[in-house]
Amino acid sequence: MIKLYNTATRTREDFIPNHPDIVKMYTCGPTVYHFAHIGNLRSYIMEDILEKSLRYHGYNVKRVMNITDVGHLASDADTGEDKMLKGAKRENKSVMEIAKFYTDAFFEDCRKLNIKRPDVVEPATNCIDDYIHIIETLIEKGYAYAAGGNIYFDVSKLKQYYIFNDFSEDDLEVGVREGVTEDSNKKNKNDFVLWFTKSKFEDQALKWDSPWGVGYPGWHIECSGISMKHLGEDLDIHCGGIDNAFPHHTNEIAQSEAYLGHKWCNYWMHVHHLNTNSGKMSKSKGEFLTVSLLEEKGYDPLVYRLFCLQSHYRKNLVFSWENLDNAVVTYNKLIAKIAALKPGEGEVDGAAFDELKAKFLEALGNDLNTALAVTAVYDVLKAKTNDTTKLAVLDDFDKVLGLDLIKKAEAKRKELAAAAPKTGEFTVICESGEPDAEVEAQIRARQDAKKAKNFAEADRIRDELKAKGVEIIDIAGGAKYKRL
Return the SS3 of 429.
strand
CA end-to-end span of the chain, whole Å? Answer: 37
Domain boundary among 374, 398, 415: 415
Task: Please state at what angle helix 387-401 crosses helix 38-56, rounded to 10 degrees.
Answer: 120
Question: How many independent structural domains does the chain possess?
Answer: 3
Strand partners, 120: 64
E strands, 310-421, are: 317-318
Q: Are residues 191 and 325 in the same domain?
A: no
- Indicate the pairing of strand 79-82 with strand 73-75: antiparallel
CA distances from 45 to 19, 74, 117, 266, 332 (A): 26, 25, 11, 22, 20
Q: Are residues 410 and 448 located together in one domain of the fold? A: no
Quote the pLDDT of residue 75: 67
pLDDT in tens, the chain (484 residues): 899 999 999 999 999 999 999 999 999 999 998 999 999 999 999 999 999 999 999 999 999 999 998 877 766 667 777 777 778 778 787 888 888 999 999 999 999 999 999 999 999 999 999 999 999 999 999 999 999 889 999 999 999 999 997 554 444 443 334 444 568 889 999 999 999 987 655 566 788 999 999 999 999 999 999 999 999 999 999 999 999 999 999 999 999 999 999 999 999 999 999 988 776 666 555 557 999 999 999 999 999 999 999 999 999 999 999 999 999 999 999 999 999 898 987 899 999 999 999 999 999 999 999 999 999 999 999 999 999 999 999 999 999 999 999 999 999 888 877 766 555 678 788 876 677 888 888 998 998 888 888 989 989 999 999 988 888 988 777 888 888 7
| Short-list 303, 300, 223, CA closest to 264 | 223
Show which of 387, 415, 443 is a domain's final residue: 415
| Position 278 in a domain | no
Residue 157 belongs to some domain of the structure: yes
pLDDT at 424: 63
How many Cα atoms within 13 Å fall on the side-chain side of residue 421? 14
What is the Cα Rg of the chain in Å?
Answer: 27
50: CATH: 3.40.50.620
pLDDT recorded at residue 87:
82
What is the rounded CA–CA span in Å between residue 60 and residue 73? 35
- Report the SS3 class of residue 380: helix
Query: Taking the model in full, what pTM does it have?
Result: 0.85
Cβ 402 vs Cβ 48: under 8 Å: yes
Backbone phi, psi, residue 66, to 5°: -90, 160
CA–CA dist 16, 36 (Å, integer): 32
Q: Which domain holds residue 320?
A: 293-415
Q: What share of the chain is helix, strand, coil (3-state, %, to 5)?
A: 45, 20, 35
What is d(CA 192, CA 396) in angstroms, rounded to the nearest whole number?
A: 46
Judge whether 142 lies within some domain.
yes
Of 73, 69, 1, the closest CA to residue 32 belongs to: 69
| Same domain as 436, residue 371 | no
> For residue 281, is it within any domain?
no
Q: Please check whether residue 287 lies inside any domain of the structure.
A: no
DSSP structural state of residue 22: B
Name the residue among 342, 135, 371, 151 with its Cα closest to residue 258.
Answer: 135
